[in-house]
Amino acid sequence: MPRILVIEDEAAIRRVLVKILSEENKTYEVEEAEDGLAGVDMIKKEDYDLVLCDIKMPKMDGVEVLELTKKLKPEIPVVMISGHGDLDTAVNTMRLGAFDYISKPPDLNRLLNTVRNALDRKELVVENKLLKKKVSKNYEMVGDSPAIEQIKDMIEKVAPTDARVLITGPNGTGKELVAHWLHEKSERSVGPMIEVNCAAIPSELIESELFGHVKGAFTSAAKDRAGKFEAANGGTIFLDEIGDMSLSAQAKVLRALQENKIQRVGSDKDIKVDVRVVAATNKNLSKEIEEGKFREDLYHRLAVILIKVPALNERRDDIPILINFFADKIAQEQGTSKKSFSAKAIDLLKAYDWT
């Protein structure tokens, strides 16, 4: 049940906002504060999914509320409410981390669309934070073979930059792991990392998933919805199995890379995005380009840095280390004693064909 806090010193406007939101969606739990000090006190004590905050208020203005909220609970989206003379300040609050702003008197459609989009973004940010807590445990780079050491060195050099990276290699080699470490070791690690498995999404839905859509764009588009590119703003988007993406979606991704802008499906409005793109594939994209299945211009945009993750057959020296790592992990997860492997068993595993 989404919890929304309305901070507004004008009682009439505050009541209108609370009434509109409560009637729009019965699951919204809407609370109110009559000034900035009271609002900040509530934010300290309670967890909210969205804050709507007036800019000009006594005791503490909206800019101070925004700055304190971003320090206390940075994951909460804050939508500013601006009066006629506050437009410049409202725009400036976007640079300070506000999700968006609405004007007084509030336009009903804009208000509700902004609230829905902010709540969608909050949900994605929370999911991303939970994912980050698991990253260090679930995405360890295991091995000390020359091939793995080379990848580790590459990550250390490339991660701090904003260069796009294309990761190639067979299934199961750890391409996702490399993508996570590129994000975690970058300055964008404070922002979201959004994953999209291009192979798992039907071709007719991939564009909506990536770029979002507006209400009525297609039969099931009952409301405006932000896409993954918007959700990844300020962070990294990982396009896994990009070789499976449709040509029309490829064209839109290319535009996003060239212009740092996207358009939601069904809209001609440009939305600026600031994302680092990391992509991965198990396909031979050179062959896909020759067969007309993948855009050559997109390939060159993506493969600024190319990282090839070797198959296990190419790094057999890591097998004893991997055995030890997974034996430890399974024992911890299941609460059992660690299994040991004889030298003969390890030799058999090293000799096995892992293709």
pLDDT at 134: 53
Q: Where in the chain is the domain with CATH 3.40.50.2300?
A: 3-122
pLDDT mean by block of 10 residues, the chain; 355 residues: 93 92 92 95 94 92 93 90 75 84 85 90 69 56 89 90 93 91 89 92 88 87 89 94 93 91 90 94 96 95 93 92 90 89 93 88
pLDDT at 45: 93
pLDDT at 88: 77
pLDDT at 121: 78
Listed residue (344, 346, 350, 355) closest to 316, CA to CA: 350
pLDDT at 59: 87
Cα dihedral 313, 318, 321, 326 in deg (nearest 10): -30
The amino acid that residue 71 corresponds to is K
Mention every residue, 6+ apart, whose C-beta is less than 8 A from residue 202. none
φ, ψ of residue 128 to 5 degrees: the values are -65, -40
pLDDT at 211: 92
Q: What CATH number belongs to 3-122? A: 3.40.50.2300
Q: Which two tokens stand for residue 298?
A: 């997109």
Strand, coil or helix: 333: helix
The helix (run of H) or strand (run of E) holding residue 349 is helix 343-351
Q: Where in the chain is the domain with CATH 3.40.50.300?
A: 139-310
CB distance 21 to 30 below 8 Å: yes
pLDDT at 221: 83
Q: Which CATH number applies to 139-310: 3.40.50.1100, 3.30.1300.30, 3.40.50.2000, 3.40.50.300?
A: 3.40.50.300
